[in-house]
Structures are given as structure tokens and as C-alpha cells.
Structure 1
Amino acid sequence: MKTIYKLQRNIAYVLLSASLFACGKSLDKPTPDTSIDLEKIQPGDIPLLLRGAYRPNLIYYQPYPIWDVYSDDIISLQGSTPTQYNPRSYDDCNPNIEDGFGNARLYAASYTAIGNANFIINYIKSKGVTNMNSILGEALSIRAFNYYRLAESYGGVILTVDLETDINQIRRDKNTEEEVYKQVMTDLEEAIPLLEDFKTADFISKPTAQLLLARLYLQLGKNKEAFELSEAVIKSGKNKLEQSDFGEVFRFGGKSSEMLWRLSETITSYERGGLYTMYSPPPPFRGSSMGLTWVDPTLVESYESDDIRASLLLKRRNPTIGENVTYLLKFSTDTLQASSNASIVYPMVRIGEAYLISAEASARQGQLVLTRYNELRKARGTSQKTTSDISDVNQFIQEIEAERRREFVGEGRRWQDMKRFGKAIPFLKSKGRDETRLYLPFVTTELTKNTKLTQNKGY
């Protein structure tokens, strides 16, 4: 009989935590230092374990904005002590290895979700369960998404897909970035035929996994494959671009079908959570925001006057610096949620990305095809482009980059875009940094737990 152990505050803990749930009605709520026999899990428990995989960390807002603040989209003067989430250090492209909130939460939450997914995947496969294809597909996609996020953030990381109980197999050095991406690709390719069509953005569906794989293909230069998958998502017809109220996409109870996958949390106190505490203006807006995080003015100026996305930008005077700045309201309870329903939406995958992946993948194959690009712009209320407006595919790729900035600001995609479009290293140099800052450091607590783990270069 195999027993899966939870080891508190240890890399083994986050890798195995699925698992590591106490028996009963709260299998999705792990507690430290408990164990459960594999044989004691029943098929009816698996949906609860899946819930735990979707929600490995109830404080989403701390790791979510890291790469936006790191990039050229967002400016943040908000600073705190090194052991707390410190946006200023990310704005300087100089994350602190002592950061126990933003960076450390990203790392721990990802591995917690991976541990949960590993348990589900291995249980279904080892037991030969034949009526849980969709759950298996969701677990594979969750594992893929979190390894993808880890690889984007750290490069190589420890890759574990089994229910490993030997601590010596966990406390080791990292796999290569290429090995991690290969596993992500394998998981998503296996998941896609298992998943159901889109029904709700609260769960991973077939088009969600297809678009995640298209995103990876594009990042790896597999442009033909990225184009085909993005087109499949668009043509599935389940999700539509929002054409009038862009805020509808981000409302918890909104009717827009544009969101393919989201995470959400219900805030019981305006002063204790939600991305609006990071991005919103200071009072009289709700929450405890100091108003020290705003959108880059060059990006703000790039929106056309009729662009519906600009409705979620608000210019007002910042009393701390004595200047007018522009705040991002995608996550604001003031503009998007009723006070009786403070459920904050965190976008993971949206249909708009399929249109821009399709356009970019075509351009990177030497084809100047504006159709999908213009369809997105039309839905957003902006002007249409013709081939006479664009000299060649290289200029078109630059136009797509600018459109992605307008579309996804605040949604965690910009830094990876900057790497793909060749903007990351010049930006780092402007900050007095070099290519070693393309990735985050492993925090001190992880290096202490696992002495075989090699720190990323430059830290």
C-alpha cells in the first residue's frame, strides 16, 4: 500500500500536497503533516481533489501581477520590507531572493497545484477509471499550466509527474527549461481530446487547453501549429469577442463569453485582498490601495479615442507624487462589482488571444494576413488596417505587439511577449540589469530546504 505524505514547508510538501489531504468532506483543503493511503481515496473524492488543484492558494493577487510590474506596461512605486511583496523591486527588475510573498507564493502555489494534479492523474490511470476523462483532462491541463508558469518564471525547475515519496528524488537539482516545456506540451496534447466543449470559464475546457498549447507553440517558434490551434479555438464558435462593454468580460456575474478560463476569489473585506488593492486609485475608491501602481503613459496614449478597452483606464492626480497618472480598473470592485458581490476575477485565458496568436503566427511564417487582427480591432471599436498601411510582415509583427499590450495589460502576459518580440534585454539594460534578470530567483527558503537546487545566474 502506498502512502503519500505531506511535509510541511518543504518542496516535498508542495509537490505532493494533493494528496495530502485529510479524509472527509474537505479533501480540497490540505492541512500540514497529514497523510492518506492511496487506497483510501474513492472515485467520488476525485472532484474534491480537483477543486483543490484549481485553488491551491486563496491569495491570488500577490503572485498574479509580478510579470506586469516587471515589464514596461506597469509602473509601481509601492515598496515594503524585503520579506513582503515588494512591487518596487520588480519594477526595478531586481527581485529580492528574500521575497516570501510574491515570488515565493508563485512558486509554492504552482507546486501545490501540480501535486494535486499528479495525484488525480496517477489515481485515474493506475485504477483504470474510464468515466473520468474530463477530470483527467482538467488535471493534465492544470499541471501543464503551472509547469508552464514555472518555466516562464524560473527557466528550469524540478519536474515531477509521479507520486514520489522518496525525499531524495525530490531534493535534487532542477530539470532544464526545455524538459519542462516538453512535459507541458505532452500534457496538453493528451488533455485536449479528453476535455469537454466550453460551458463555463470556471473550469478548463477543450478550447482552453488548445489556446494554452497555441500560446506555448508560439513562444517556442512552432508557428504553424500555433496558427492551427488558435484557428480551431476561434472556429469552435463557443466564445465571442466583447464589442460594447469591455468591463463585462471581467465582471464576476457578467454575460460575456469572452473569458475561456478564470480564477476568482470572494473578498470578505475590501481592505484585505483583490488586485484592486494593487491597481486601483487611492480612496475614495474601495480598498486600501495607496495608488502607487499605474499604466505606462506611452501605452495609455496608444489607445484610439473610441477604443472600448480605454473605458477601464482612469486618469487622476496622484497625491503622493503630485502628478496625473492612469490607473487600470480591470480588477476594480468600484467599476465592475456590486458591493454585495465582491468577487474578483483573475483572467487566465481569453478568446482575444486566439485572434492575435493567429495573426502573429501567420506573420512569422511570412504571411501578411490582417483578417483576425482586424476582427479584434473592430470588436474593440478601433480603426481597420489595410495592407497599404503596413509595409511588410516585420512592421505587422510590431503592430501585433502593440495590440497585445493594449489588449492584455495587467493580465500577466507582457514579459513573455517582451522576450518573444526581442524587447526584454534592451529593457533590462535600461534598468541597469542584464540577461540574468530574464528569470526570477529561487527564494532563500527553497534553497535552504533543497541544498542541491542551483540558484539562477546573477542572484
Structure 2
Amino acid sequence: MKHKFLYTALLAFSIPLLNGCKKELDVNPQERVPFDSYYKTEADAFAALVSVYDRFGFQAGGLYDKIAIMDVAGDDQLAGGGGPTDINDLQVMSTYTHNANVGPQGYIWNRSYSGIYRANVLLSVIGNIQMDAAKKARFIAETKTMRAAFYFDLVTFFKNVPLIEGIVEVKDMFNIEQTTPDKIYTYVEKDLNEAIPDLPNTVPIATEGGRLTKGAAQALLGKVLLYQEKWQPAADQFATVNGTDPGVAASVYGYKLLPNFADLWKTNNKFNSESIIEFAHSALSNGGWGDAGASEGNLLCIITGPRGYSSLKPTAPDYFSGYSFLVFTRAFFNIIRNDPRRNATAMDMDSLKAAGEANYTAGYNNTGVFLNKYIARVANRAPTTPELNFGQNVYEMRLADAFMLEAEALMRAGASVAPGSRAYKLFNAVRARVGLPEVALTQDNLELERRLELAGEGQRWLDLRRWGKAATVLASKGFVAGRHELFPIPQNELNNTKLKQNPGW
């Protein structure tokens, strides 16, 4: 019988799909553990499931994540930091000077394929594990949902990627080829459609907060369909997630907009009624500088804080001094200046400094305007290595986003957008939550509302690209049409393999 082997290093560390040198793949057979000797119990299956979740919310050791990449790639934020090479992956993304060897694309590629590997391992063995049938079905559904999310990221950022459905033998790794985007999308839709029936409507927050639910998988499927411009099917998926009375009554899954927008960003308000997919972080993980990416703390909290911050009056915010990354442009601040979401979103440190309330040290690209949604607070300081262990969670998708996506899908499908229509009510529920009056649902109004509501949450670049506006809006940052719509395949994935680089790279 031919054994399938588990490479123990893969259980603990993220690895690329492929490496540039074949000899690096030589493995001592005595260091391998056969799958059928390792996965025996429900506890083994749960440990494998946790390992997939580990990749789902994984942050780069270079102190960034997907949100940070997308923020600096957009028009409303700059890399910032301490200098032009500080967290260089973000610097080159902000100026569109990244290439196949330099940039953040390796993080997205490695996070996704290591997550897919772990998902495929679990799915290949769980059928033989003796455990409760309903629980097994749920484990499978969670795993398929995450695998779908990994592939959705890959097809979104790279478009031309390999589809790996099972465990690949080492000898076959260098013969893998890319497939077409439509096949990736079909695979993603299949995974999600199969997962949804076996996921719970809700989970107990105290013991299972952050685990995937029906609503999470349905919202993800809606987004996958919307990105393919399958407007009505996308709207149909979002409809159950969003509920019958947008902005008023909770949906069948319990989702409801929080009354106060600023409450979304309170560390103690995790897994609230607006959260659909949320990455959990902890102030108790004891993450250290030996491997910052392994920390369970939220790295956005430290990189977004003002450098050298000090409060001078009791009325000043209790910021923990940070690294001044992801600063907003003054142009964006002028747009959000009179919006009710301004204070929760953007902190004008120069105004605080001028008023004598606080002081800070200007960093690179300094505009004086910082991403207030994620700045760390002294009150939330972790007991050990506080820079790396702030416990604020991160939204991958929240209800206001889903409301606007369904409204957009309905509008693009040709449904009514007149006052009283579902699309109109979905769109204006987001505005009503912050006390803004109703306005017509138009493409321009939708684009502005998404820009203001989701600022600093990693959505702007993706929106500009799918609306076909990235090349125009981002030209001043160096964006080149026909090149920068996609990320380059990392060069070390091309070496000695059959993978081909994306057009323009």
C-alpha cells in the first residue's frame, strides 16, 4: 500500500506551494509520519481544523496583513512608517514599484496555499475518523468554506493559479500547472454550496466566537458571485444574510447593524451582531519578536498608531505609541471631514497637537491623519510584548458591507432602486445608522458610501479594480493599466516549475 505522508513542519509553519530549488524538498523518510497513523480521533480532527483556521487569520511576520496591503494600494492611504523602506512590502505596494521578487504577493500566495494544503489534508482523512456524524459534517463544512476563501483570494489577486484538489506527492509538485479562473470560481462555488447546509446558524460567542456559520458562507458566496457579475444570484445569497427588514430587524441569522458606528472598533465588542466573518485576536498570546507573525495579537494595532505619541491633557486619547503606517491622505480627510464616521475612522493628530492635547513624531509620508479604527489603546495593553499582542479583532466582512453589496447587485441586475425598494432600503440603512438622510441609490452615491463606511478596512482597492476605475484613480501612485490589476506570481514559485507569470510582469 502506498502511504500518504504528513510533513510535520507543515503543521506549524506556513510554506509556499512550491520552492525554487528541487533539492530543498529532499526529506528523510524517518522524519515523516503516515496520515493513517496520525489522524485517529476527534481531537486529531479538531487540531487539524484549528490549523486551517490558523492560516485563515494569518498575519505576515513583516507586521502586516491583507487589510494593510489593500489599504496602501488604494488612493486614500499611504504606507507611512519610519522611512521609505520600513516594512518594504507595504512601501512598494503603495508606490506600485513591487515586482515578482519584491512585494507582499508572497504573503497572500503562501497563506492561501498553506491553508489549502491543510484543508486538503483534513478532508482526505476525516472520513475515516470515528466521531459524531453531525460534528464531522460541520468540520468538513468549515474546512470547505475556508478553502473556498483561500481560492477566492488567489483568483482575485493573481487570476491564473493552480487548482489543487488533494494531496500532492513531492515528486509531482514541479509539474503543477495553472488553470483558468472560471474553473477556480466553479470550485469555490461548489465548496460553499456544499458547506452551507452543514454550518450552524449561530455559534455561542463565549466558546466558539470566530467559527464559521451559515451566514458567513452565504455572504462569501454572494461576494464570489458578485465579483463574477452574476448580479441576481449574488443578491439572492445576500438576501438571507441581510434579512427582510434591513437596518431594523435582525436577520434569520441574528445579524443587525450596531446602533453606534464607533462601537464596531471597541476591543471588548467582539463577535457583535454586525460581524459576519471576523478574525480573532488575543492580548494573551505571548507573541514575541522571534516570530511576530505567529502572534495571536492584532498587528494592525501597533503599526497604525502615531510614532512617539504622548498625551498632554487628560482629554487626549490614550493611544499606545505606534509606527505611523497606513496614514490617510489629506484629500481623503477632506472628504470625510463632515461625515459622522470621521472621528471613529480618522484621527487628525495635527489638530490635537495644535490644541496642546497630545504630541507625536512625524513619520514617513506624514499627513497627520491616522487610521483610528485600529490604533492601539493603553487601556488594552497586553501583559507581555504589548506591541505584538493587542486583542482587537478584525472584520473580514460585516453587515454594512453586505447591505451595500446586495444593493449594488440588485441595482446592476436591473431591480428597482426607487424609494421604498429593497435596494434603496439596504443602501440607506447604512446611512441611517450614522444619522445621515436618505439619498438616491446611484452608482456614484454607492461608491462614495462604500469609501466612507469601509475606509481603512481593505476594500477600496478591490472596489476600484472591479469598477474599472483603478487605472485612472491610482495613476498618480504609479498604477499601470494592463499590469497592476493583478499581482505578479512570486518568482520563487516560477523557478523550475511549469507556472507562468501573469501578463505585464
**What TM bracket, shorter-length normalisation?**
0.7 to 0.9
Cα deviation 1:278-326 (Å, max 9, x = unaligned): 322212242540x253123333333374624632310123624696432
Task: Name the structure 2 match of 1:172.
Answer: 176
Task: Name the structure 2 match of 1:360.
Answer: 408
The structure-2 alpha-carbon separation of the partners of 1:46 and 1:83, relative to structure 1 and needing over 3 Å to count, comes to farther
Task: Name the structure 2 match of 1:257.
Answer: 273
Cα deviation for residue 153 of structure 1 reads 1.2
The structure-2 alpha-carbon separation of the partners of 1:252 and 1:53, relative to structure 1 and needing over 3 Å to count, comes to farther
Residue 217 of structure 1 contacts residue 226 of structure 1 at CA under 8 Å; is this kept in 2? yes
Moved more, 109-118 or 71-80: 71-80
Task: Name the structure 2 match of 1:293.
Answer: 326
Alignment partner for residue 451 of structure 1, among 479, 492, 497? Answer: 497
Aligned partners of 1:276, 1:3: CA distance in 2, in Å?
Answer: 41
Alignment partner for residue 226 of structure 1, among 234, 238, 243? Answer: 234
Task: Name the structure 2 match of 1:43.
Answer: 41
Residue 226 of structure 1 contacts residue 358 of structure 1 at CA under 8 Å; is this kept in 2? yes
Aligned partners of 2:125, 2:365: CA distance in 1, in Å?
Answer: 58
Task: Name the structure 2 match of 1:282.
Answer: 307
> Which structure 2 residues correspond to residues 332-371 of structure 1 after superposition, within 5 A?
332-334=375-377, 337=380, 339=382, 342-366=390-414, 367-368=416-417, 369-371=423-425
Moved more, 333-342 or 311-320: 333-342
Residue 84 of structure 2 contacts residue 91 of structure 2 at CA under 8 Å; is this kept in 1? no
Residue 50 of structure 1 contacts residue 139 of structure 1 at CA under 8 Å; is this kept in 2? yes
Aligned partners of 2:228, 2:264: CA distance in 1, in Å?
Answer: 32
Cα deviation 1:15-68 (Å, max 9, x = unaligned): 59xxxxxxxxxxxxxxx9953322221131111111110112753552321122
The one-letter code matched in structure 2 to 1:445 is: N
SS in 1 for 2:179: coil
SS in 2 for 1:435: coil
Cα deviation 1:100-140 (Å, max 9, x = unaligned): 7x322221111111111112222234669733111111000
Task: Name the structure 1 match of 2:445.
Answer: 399
Aligned partners of 1:304, 1:383: CA distance in 2, in Å?
Answer: 17
Cα deviation 1:360-394 (Å, max 9, x = unaligned): 01110223131011111111232222xxxx4xx6x
Residue 244 of structure 1 contacts residue 308 of structure 1 at CA under 8 Å; is this kept in 2? no
Moved more, 125-134 or 400-409: 125-134
The structure-2 alpha-carbon separation of the partners of 1:380 and 1:83, relative to structure 1 and needing over 3 Å to count, comes to closer
The one-letter code matched in structure 2 to 1:417 is: D
The structure-2 alpha-carbon separation of the partners of 1:269 and 1:121, relative to structure 1 and needing over 3 Å to count, comes to closer
Residue 79 of structure 1 contacts residue 89 of structure 1 at CA under 8 Å; is this kept in 2? no
SS in 2 for 1:438: coil
> Which structure 2 residues correspond to residues 204-243 of structure 1 after superposition, within 5 A?
204-235=212-243, 236-243=252-259
Task: Name the structure 2 match of 1:114.
Answer: 116
Alignment partner for residue 441 of structure 1, among 476, 488, 503? Answer: 488
SS in 2 for 1:189: helix
Larger radius of gyration: 2
Task: Name the structure 2 match of 1:158.
Answer: 162
Residue 79 of structure 2 contacts residue 365 of structure 2 at CA under 8 Å; is this kept in 1? no
Alignment partner for residue 376 of structure 1, among 430, 436, 439? Answer: 430
The one-letter code matched in structure 1 to 2:211 is: F
Aligned partners of 1:415, 1:306: CA distance in 2, in Å?
Answer: 21
Aligned partners of 2:391, 2:368: CA distance in 1, in Å?
Answer: 26
Matched, 1:411 2:415: no
Task: Name the structure 1 match of 2:312.
Answer: none
Cα deviation for residue 165 of structure 1 reads 1.7
SS in 2 for 1:275: helix
In the alignment of these two chains, the number of paired residues is 432
Cα deviation for residue 99 of structure 1 reads 3.0
The one-letter code matched in structure 2 to 1:69 is: V
Aligned partners of 1:263, 1:99: CA distance in 2, in Å?
Answer: 27
The one-letter code matched in structure 2 to 1:299 is: F
Aligned partners of 2:153, 2:304: CA distance in 1, in Å?
Answer: 22
Residue 415 of structure 1 contacts residue 424 of structure 1 at CA under 8 Å; is this kept in 2? yes
RMSD in angstroms over aligned alpha carbons? 3.2
The structure-2 alpha-carbon separation of the partners of 1:103 and 1:334, relative to structure 1 and needing over 3 Å to count, comes to same
Alignment partner for residue 86 of structure 1, among 84, 89, 108? Answer: 89
Task: Name the structure 1 match of 2:386.
Answer: none
Gaps of 5+ in 1: 17-31
Cα deviation for residue 337 of structure 1 reads 3.4
Cα deviation for residue 423 of structure 1 reads 1.0
Cα deviation for residue 436 of structure 1 reads 1.2
Aligned partners of 2:129, 2:221: CA distance in 1, in Å?
Answer: 28
The one-letter code matched in structure 2 to 1:35 is: R
Residue 154 of structure 1 contacts residue 440 of structure 1 at CA under 8 Å; is this kept in 2? yes
Residue 141 of structure 2 contacts residue 199 of structure 2 at CA under 8 Å; is this kept in 1? yes
SS in 2 for 1:76: strand
Cα deviation for residue 209 of structure 1 reads 0.4
Aligned partners of 1:179, 1:126: CA distance in 2, in Å?
Answer: 29
Cα deviation 1:198-231 (Å, max 9, x = unaligned): 2244111100000001111111111111111111
The structure-2 alpha-carbon separation of the partners of 1:309 and 1:123, relative to structure 1 and needing over 3 Å to count, comes to farther
Cα deviation for residue 250 of structure 1 reads 5.1
Cα deviation 1:388-443 (Å, max 9, x = unaligned): xx4xx6xx122111111122222222222112212112235442522211111122
